[in-house]
Structure 1
Amino acid sequence: MPPPPPNSPVIRHTADAAQTREELAKLRPELVERYDAALPGARAAVLSRLLGAFAREPLPGLRDRRTGEVSFPGVTMRFPRRAAVAFARADDGLTATVRAETAPEDEWAGLTATGWAGPGLPGGPETATEPGAEWAASWHDSDAWVGELSPGAFVSDPGTLVRILWPGSDLAAEVDNSVANMALARASHLARAEQLARAGQLPRDDQRARAEQLARAAQLPRDEQRALQEELARAEQLARAGQLPRDEQRALDEQLARAAQLARAEHGGRAGLGEWAGLGEWARLGAWPLSTAGDPDGLAIAEQSITDGHPLHPCCRTRGGMSVADVLAYAPEHSPAIRLRRLRVPAERWHGTAEPVLLAHPWQAARIRERYPWLVDDGETAAVLPLMSLRTVALQGGGPHVKTAVDVQMTSAVRTVSPAAVENGPVLSRLLKAVTKDLPIDVLEETAAGAVLVDGVPQRHLAHLVREAPRLAEGETIVPLALYGANDSLVGAVPDPYEMMGLLGAVLFAPLVRVLERGIALEAHGQNTLVVLRDQRPVRIVYRDLGGVRVSARRLERAGFEAPRLLGDLPTDDPQVLRTKLAAAALGTVAAEIIAALSRHGADTQRLWAIVAAALRETGTSDVRHLLRDPLPVKATTAMRLAADPLDDIWAYLDNPLAAQ
């Protein structure tokens, strides 16, 4: 087995599930019961992400891989094929089966989901036509074989699985923390949803969605479902008018509690239809308002409604370095409003375009003041709301966004602000605005940035940058693309999935390819790419955060733009690097996740991919034939966490669904 990564960040105050529960009992005892109920679903969700890595990533020590089975030295593991599919919804009780010795050859050794395969990794180069192969492949595809052919230990905890395969790795503690924080997030959102419901603050559509989720989870009789929906609608109307009598509110609460009880009973006492039950399912699916032109805080509220984090990374909710109290106080999924510290910096110790005042996250400020006593406290900012990334905040009531530095590991990296970002942001913002001037992409300009100098060197943990906030016209709403994967209610409100994908082709996928042709590969993943909607239909894209882009001076000059001087790893003329950056985020993540979400509502997957392919093909650029033909790259996040340098990109290459279109 490989040794633990030598330069992994030190994990301080990072609690596992048991430690989180112990702290929660002291800090928020009213959440403990909900946390316990959410924990099995959180374990399954993180385990599903880890199984996805086993199915597609170049993991250290991996010796052999077949559909639903991987082998490491001395260990063979089998798992349900469907649980390892990207963006799968994991059921409570998901397990992998581990044998602590090399699996013996058996009569099923060459079986894959498509038949009997020859030697090699998934599927092998040859497929024989053995008698009964079609039946065997069908049985294999049903996942029935996992229980029939896998004597060994059943492992439901992803941290335990990491310890078995990579003993001594920091990844196990990170995964433990991810599970605990996801359960904590789900518990907190359930409590918040119940508070809003009792206060009568939910819009009618959300009340109706809530009733439908409850009824579906509990399988209520149709007449009871109708009665529940009518009662919710009436209660919402009365609550808005301030006319809901206390006894009627109590009766409504009892009716909702009964539906939740029925849901739990229907699912064997577990809190889940897949992952949640009753109101908890509704809370996870999101009944929070979307940002509109007249609601400056709506975007932050929508982003804070995402409980589960990165859809493919097993460290999706890792908060390495934060205590449970810190997570409750600062993590966006707990809906906090905070205030940044203003720390005045001597002019000779400041680098950047911003005034010499470090805007420090309060968590970070508490840890740097003693070390740098010449940072002078100049009070607090106005209240700000954390966005999806925790360290980026939006001014409450409207105003610019601020990206701060925190020495906290989230997913794959400690989230500081690099000297390159301080230098590049304002320059690259202006360039990108010029490159996208004729396209339906609004770039949120990074207007100012700065870093503290120590011994003449800009410090990434003492830096910040300021970014524009989105601007909306009357009748427009805005959401991050990640919300489509996290919020089934939003997907369910899509009027026509094929029209939706066609519009995304016109405002997102095709423009991204045109920007690539002009010299900039945008890393348009679900967190940094927002979609502006009118009547639930995409009309344009808003792009933020320039740290992950790649810039080709040769292409820029060919397109008539002057290439600026950029620091760090952004500059490259390698066409493969440029295409990989775009394809991994926009196609392998965003398109794949949205298509998976729409398909859960009955849309045809192949037809949706064909629409994306048509949008790319219509651009006629030189990159399109590669994007349609080459294997589809997806960032190998687990392999990266186990690598010597966890920040170096590692890619998994998948069959390209665009190739068949």
Structure 2
Amino acid sequence: MDRHPMSDAEAALGAELGAVRPELVLPYTTALPGARAAVLSRLWRGLVHEPLPWVVRREAVGGDGVTLHLADGRRLHGPPVDPYDTAAHTSEVRLDERSHDRPARLMSALAVPHSAALAAELDHSVASLALSRANQGTAAASPVADWEWEQRIVDGHPFHPNCRSRPGFSAGDQLAYGPEHRQVVRLGLAPVEDALVVGEWPEWLRDGGRVLVPVHPWQAAHVLKSPLGEVIEAHPLMSLRTLALPDDGPHIKTALSARLTSSVRDISVYSIETSAIVSDFMAEVAARTDGLLHVTRTLGALTAGSPDLAAVLRESPQTYADTATGERVVPVAALATTELPRSPSWLADFTRLALTVCLRLLDLGVALEAHGQNLLVVLSPSGAPRRLVYRDLADIRVSPARLARHGIAAPAMSGRIITDDETTLRRKLFGALITGTLGATAGSTPVLREALSTAVRDLPRTPDLGTLLVGPLPTKALTLMRLSPERPGDIWAEVPSPLR
């Protein structure tokens, strides 16, 4: 068992914390063991379920767990893994005769290709997660605004070992910009004379003949290396680079060229160029769901010719909740912070709503990336799920062939959004909705099985539903993706269907 002092990343963040918020040093240190177990649990899930080329065989050892037989003859042993378990607490795994309780040291000991880089990210993920947990206390007890809900999400991605990895962010940066730290962020307004503007860019973001591009302060300091100048205040959302303006104002998606969990978060010129086309198209398709789905419209988007200096302005999801009657709109990722998913009937109703809407859209020809960040639910005053709201259209997939079968014109565009490949379409939806959103909301295979079994009874028996019922189900191979920098795009794994 590892009984060493703090790792380099843990110690470095702790030292920074001592300089900027010394009262958090003790809570941070206390939170480290739990953060290590949380990240190790996510990593162990990936090692057990993903198609790692250096794992030649997996063996269930009675009730004692799982043994991975590695290509070099070593054995890696740990507890049983429920792929939908969000409360897993893996305290240690054993590589041959040595036990490891720290994910970074385990990855270093495995010594597989690119493991050193991933070990550094895991180390940072642990330190950042401990900081997030250490700085809780005064989050809104009864959130009203959407950004207040997003402040309640402390642990980040429920299944990604890099759930809180924010390389390049100091302790001060995290405290200032992370939504879980509940600060107001001052966005700079960069004047640009020659920009590609799509849609309507509001007058309050113009200065004569120039447009003003909202710039995240981290981006200004570390990438653009320019002062903020004129600023506006906004509340950070769980994606960190997207922020909500006060008083239910629009959301601003900023360029933030930092690696968060898996990807460098910039805004491609392609997504700006296609933003209005995709937004108008999705408004038309959403109208075919009998009012069960709303899509936040893209109001305007612009780029100064670089992914490093761009922004998107879109409606707030609050637009689609009747707050006068007590409705609330809640990001699905925040549902785990409420009592609602603990009710089997509520979870079945929510699962039925999500499947009804998303399978209907898939049949029409649109695969939503309906993970807990993009998907929101409108709740009645009593908490009943009424409608869904979807935001951020950059990573949907659209099938012209499916659209044509329903007499719907495909959007006038090309590129990565457009595909007729059935596997790609189903992976996009099921990998986000089932093995992500619904699995994380249920929190375990038995609970998810019960909710799905109830929800699917009355759904139309489409080929897509048939695929879902038979399984296995796709899930992103999040660990393998971080160990495969030479392979761009998504890599997929399969996990057992809870219905089988």
Superposition TM-score, scaled by structure 2 size: 0.89
Question: Cα–Cα, structure 1 residues 88 and 469, in superposed 2: closer, same or farther, change >3 Å?
Answer: closer
Q: How does 1:167-566 map to 2 (within 5 A)?
A: 169-189=116-136, 193=137, 196=138, 288-291=141-144, 298-347=145-194, 349-353=195-199, 354=201, 356-370=211-225, 379-381=230-232, 383-439=233-289, 440-453=292-305, 459-470=306-317, 471=319, 472-473=321-322, 474-485=325-336, 487=337, 489-492=339-342, 496-498=343-345, 500-534=346-380, 535-566=382-413
Distance 2:74 2:163 in 1: 26
Secondary structure of 2:309 counterpart? strand
> Which residue is 1:632 aligned to?
473
1:552–1:572 CA contact under 8 A, matched in 2: yes
Alpha-carbon displacement from aligned partner over 1:303-342 (angstroms, at most 9, x marks no partner):
1111100011000000022122111111111111012111
Alpha-carbon displacement from aligned partner over 1:320-379 (angstroms, at most 9, x marks no partner):
2212211111111111101211111122x54544463221111111234458xxxx9661
Distance 2:78 2:392 in 1: 37
2:215–2:254 CA contact under 8 A, matched in 1: yes
1:629–1:656 CA contact under 8 A, matched in 2: yes
> Which residue is 1:139 aligned to?
none
CA RMSD of aligned residues (A): 2.2
Please report how far the alpha carbon of residue 169 of structure 1 lies from its aligned counterpart in structure 2 after TM superposition.
2.9
Secondary structure of 1:562 counterpart? coil
1:46 matched to 2:43? The reply is no
Distance 2:368 2:448 in 1: 25
Please report how far the alpha carbon of residue 648 of structure 1 lies from its aligned counterpart in structure 2 after TM superposition.
1.4
User: In the comparison of the two structures, how many residue pairs are matched?
Assistant: 470
Rg larger in structure: 1
1:344–1:377 CA contact under 8 A, matched in 2: no
Alpha-carbon displacement from aligned partner over 1:58-100 (angstroms, at most 9, x marks no partner):
1242222123111222431111114x64334244x7001111x
1:451–1:462 CA contact under 8 A, matched in 2: yes
Distance 2:37 2:105 in 1: 13
Superposition TM-score, scaled by structure 1 size: 0.68
> Which residue is 1:586 aligned to?
433
> Which residue is 1:159 aligned to?
104
Question: Cα–Cα, structure 1 residues 166 and 421, in superposed 2: closer, same or farther, change >3 Å?
Answer: farther
2:85–2:440 CA contact under 8 A, matched in 1: yes
Question: Cα–Cα, structure 1 residues 60 and 331, in superposed 2: closer, same or farther, change >3 Å?
Answer: farther
Unaligned runs of 5+ in 2: 1-6, 61-65
> Which residue is 1:27 aligned to?
20
Question: Which one-letter code corresponds to 1:325 in the other structure?
Answer: G
Distance 1:170 1:430 in 2: 41
Please report how far the alpha carbon of residue 289 of structure 1 lies from its aligned counterpart in structure 2 after TM superposition.
2.0
Distance 2:229 2:443 in 1: 48
Secondary structure of 2:164 counterpart? coil
Question: Cα–Cα, structure 1 residues 491 and 502, in superposed 2: closer, same or farther, change >3 Å?
Answer: closer
1:80 matched to 2:79? The reply is yes
1:57 matched to 2:57? The reply is no
Distance 2:444 2:338 in 1: 7
Alpha-carbon displacement from aligned partner over 1:111-143 (angstroms, at most 9, x marks no partner):
xxxxxxxxxxxxxxxxxxxxxxxxxxxxxxxxx
Distance 1:445 1:404 in 2: 16
Distance 2:339 2:453 in 1: 25
Question: Cα–Cα, structure 1 residues 417 and 567, in superposed 2: closer, same or farther, change >3 Å?
Answer: farther
Structure 1 stretch displaced more, 555-564 or 41-50: 555-564
2:188–2:215 CA contact under 8 A, matched in 1: yes
Alpha-carbon displacement from aligned partner over 1:25-63 (angstroms, at most 9, x marks no partner):
111110111111111100000000000001100124222
> Which residue is 2:4 aligned to?
none
